[in-house]
Amino acid sequence: MRFAPTTEQLDLRDVVRALWEDRCPPAVIRAAATDPADPSILALYRDFAELGAAGLLIDERAGGLGLDENYLVPVLIEVGRAGVPLPITETIAVAAGIAGAVGLDADLAAGNLRVACDLQVSVPAARAHSADVLLAGGWGGRGEITVLYLAGAQLEAVEAMDPAADLCRIQGAAVLHRVADPVLVEQAWNRGVLGAAAELVGLSRRMLDLTVAYVAERRQFGVPIGSFQAVKHQLASALIAVEFAAPTVARAGAALAAGDEDAGIHACTAKALASDAARQVARAAIQCHGAIAYTTEYDLHLFAKRAWFLAAAWGSAAWHRDRIAGALGLPSSGRGPTQ
């Protein structure tokens, strides 16, 4: 047994973290909220692809790195930490297997394609302005996935709580392929669930870091507010939630990489815990900051809103608990959540 990332995985993580620290400060998230297809945002993806990360899960014969989910998780934690306003989980995780089946894998690995997802079909898709291809269908790892080409499609923006969500209703996209292979559809779903969970861990850590730094500086009653137990205990509880979600996300990555039979169960557990942890961290972070958190000038809201968005995407915590309950053989009224 050894349950820790390898040196190689940590090195990859460090390179990706350094890239975002350099190229994706909060100003970039704000820019994406104004114009999600801004050339500077798309340039960010080229930098990421130059690391080879676009083809992380793609076979080496197609120009990818041929790595597995054990590498994916630390990379996507960094994507979350930076709040990168690009559809990275969709592109490098969800689409990797599908792209191989439809001959798009070399383009994807080269960084020439970005992918958005509309899993439930005709529900607004996130980050469509910065995507070239749309994957529609496959919710819950079932059914078939349609691959559509976004050039020439009509994108109608839908306002969302997260200003950088770039939600769009899409019409008139041309169908390129249909993928019905149940193994690929399930894999795409599980990787999306895993990716969202990993991003949520990164977002949680970013919000905690911001808050810890703030409460150590901010003084009231003549002392830093971080010296008060009421503040300490909220942040300690928030940290506990993250620290128990994170290894569960790593475990789900390991299970998917190993092709374990119960990998889907691990992915459900990871997403449920990471979603609940991120929500708890967001609440504690906002409360412990006080009024400054309730402004848009301060950066915290960018990460909190992204966290809520991802907590609700790819199956909410309640959705995944419902799925686990079913897998555990617990009878249900049959009125479980559908999304």
Partner 1 sequence: MDVTDTEAERGFRAEARAWLTANVPTDPLPSGDTAEGFRAHLDWERRLFDAGWAVVSWPAAYGGRDASLWEWLIFEEEYYRAGAPQRVTQNGIFLLAPTLFEFGTREQQDTLLPRMAAGQDLWCQGWSEPGAGSDLAAIGSRAVRDEAAGGWRLTGQKTWTTRGAFCTHLFGLFRTDPAAGRHRGLTYFLLDLDSPGVTVRGFDRFDGDEGFAEVFLTDVFVPDSGVLGGVNEGWSVAMATTGSERGLTLRSPGRFLSAADRLVALGREHGGRLTDVVRDRIAGEWMKAQAYQNFTLAQVTDIVEKRSPGARSSLNKVFWSELDISLHETALELLGPAGQWEGPWSRGFQFSLAGPIYAGTNEIQRNIIAERVLGLPRR
What is the maximum span of the chain, computed from C-alpha positions, in angstroms?
A: 65
Q: Which of 157, 212, 286, 312 lies at the binding interface for partner 1 (CB under 8 A)?
A: 212
Q: Let me know: does 74 contact 64? Beta carbons within 8 Å.
A: no
User: Shortest distance, CB of residue 290 to partner 1, whole angstroms?
Assistant: 16
Q: Let me know: does 203 contact 81? Beta carbons within 8 Å.
A: yes
Q: Which stretch binds partner 1 (CB under 8 A): 78-86, 116-124, 278-286, 314-322?
A: 314-322
Q: How far apart are CA 71 and CA 109, in angstroms?
A: 15
Residue 313 DSSP class: S
Residue whose pair of structure tokens reads 């079913």 in the numeric block: 326
Residue count, binding to partner 1 (CB under 8 A): 50
Residue whose pair of structure tokens reads 């249909």 in the numeric block: 178
Q: Does residue number 322 form part of the binding site for partner 1 (CB under 8 A)? A: yes
Q: Does residue number 118 form part of the binding site for partner 1 (CB under 8 A)? A: no
Q: DSSP labels for 82-122?
A: HT--S-HIIIIIIHHHHHHHTT-HHHHHTT---EEEETTSS
Instruction: Decide whether 72 or 134 has the Cβ nearer to partner 1.
Output: 72
Q: Does residue number 216 form part of the binding site for partner 1 (CB under 8 A)? A: yes
Q: How far apart are CA 303 and CA 228, in angstroms?
A: 25
Q: Which of 136, 273, 300, 313 lies at the binding interface for partner 1 (CB under 8 A)?
A: 273
Instruction: Decide whether 231 or 310 has the Cβ nearer to partner 1.
Output: 231
User: Shortest distance, CB of residue 150 to partner 1, whole angstroms?
Assistant: 36
Enumerate binding residues for partner 1 (CB under 8 A): 1-5, 70, 208, 212, 215-216, 223-224, 226-227, 229, 231-233, 235-237, 239-240, 243-245, 247-248, 250-251, 253-254, 257, 266, 269, 272-273, 318, 321-322, 324-325, 328-333, 335-336
